[in-house]
Amino acid sequence: MKVSVKTPATIANLGPGFDSFGLALPLYNIISVEETVLPGSGIEINIIDEKNNEANANVDIPLDKNNIVYKAIELLYNFIGQVPTELKITIKTQIPISRGLGSSASVIVGGLLAANELLGRPADEKVLMSIATEIEGHPDNIAPAFVGGVTMASWEEDGSVVYRKLPWNDEWKLMVCVPDYELNTDISRSVLPKEVPMKDAIFNLKKSAMLVDALYNKDEELLKLSLKDKLHQPYREKLVPGLAEIINNLKHINGVIGTVLCGAGPAIMVVYNGIGASEIKEKVSETWNYYNVNVNFLNLPIEKEGAVIL
């Protein structure tokens, strides 16, 4: 038996909500899990790039038991007192890797949901969400990959994940600016300090509260004030050349509500009210071209649906 799951790309943090807020995008990975019939065939993992239909080409991702999808599925098997022996995992990718678009959360969630289905659904959403977060390390991409839309999520001390879906005003558009280079999340987290100044923590606290209110009340002015951060973006500027300039330059474009780093980067998300798209593209290209970075623009709505079993 084979089960396939389609999961969306996600963007985490949304400015002030480091490791907490996220949203889903209509770009997908398809993860298939199959219990192979041949005893002793072991674990087989294939990653297929949807663009060129090539398997395992240029992938710098472990294809053995160190693979994160396998590790997540192994935890699920352990949850029911079993160990996976013969498994074939196939990942068809449309989501660019190491750009801040939640490709890892997408495959973890997809693999877990597929394996859970294969096993006769022994785990509920709570268990799956908590296993996925244990593998990923934070729930901000996991929650929207699971349930779609805009989410805030907290990994509680007992290991459970508490999340809520937040509303989104469909008049607000996203321009996702994806540069042509990868940034490993571990490297991007390694530049963050262990402790932050109290005034910066207070700054983000205020902005996160404002963000929630802006979303509930479709308040564009408040959203404009809230899409700001002092806990991670300033430290990541050295890994994303042009980030500060882009944020600053776009402020002056009519229609732009806010500009933030996508998750750990290096992609940048611009929230705008439908006008100014060509000016946004022009300014971002101009700045990144100065740093010899090429950019691909994705003008996308929010994906309201989460992972689906196909």
SS (H, E, C) 60-77: CCCCCCCCHHHHHHHHHH
Taking the complex as a whole, the smallest distance from the CB of residue 262 to ligand HSE amounts, in Å, to 9
Smaller CB separation from ligand HSE, 188 or 287: 188
Smaller CB separation from ligand HSE, 239 or 308: 239
Taking the complex as a whole, the smallest distance from the CB of residue 34 to ligand HSE amounts, in Å, to 28
Taking the complex as a whole, the smallest distance from the CB of residue 265 to ligand HSE amounts, in Å, to 8
34: its two tokens: 């199959």
Smaller CB separation from ligand HSE, 43 or 178: 178
Taking the complex as a whole, the smallest distance from the CB of residue 186 to ligand HSE amounts, in Å, to 9
Task: Tell me the HSE value of 8 on the side-chain side, using a 13 A CA sphere.
Answer: 26
Smaller CB separation from ligand HSE, 135 or 280: 135
Residues of this chain that bind ligand HSE (CB under 6 A):
12-13, 18-19, 138, 140-141, 185, 188-189, 232, 263-264
Taking the complex as a whole, the smallest distance from the CB of residue 164 to ligand HSE amounts, in Å, to 17
Contact 61, 106 (CB under 8 A): no
Smaller CB separation from ligand HSE, 140 or 303: 140
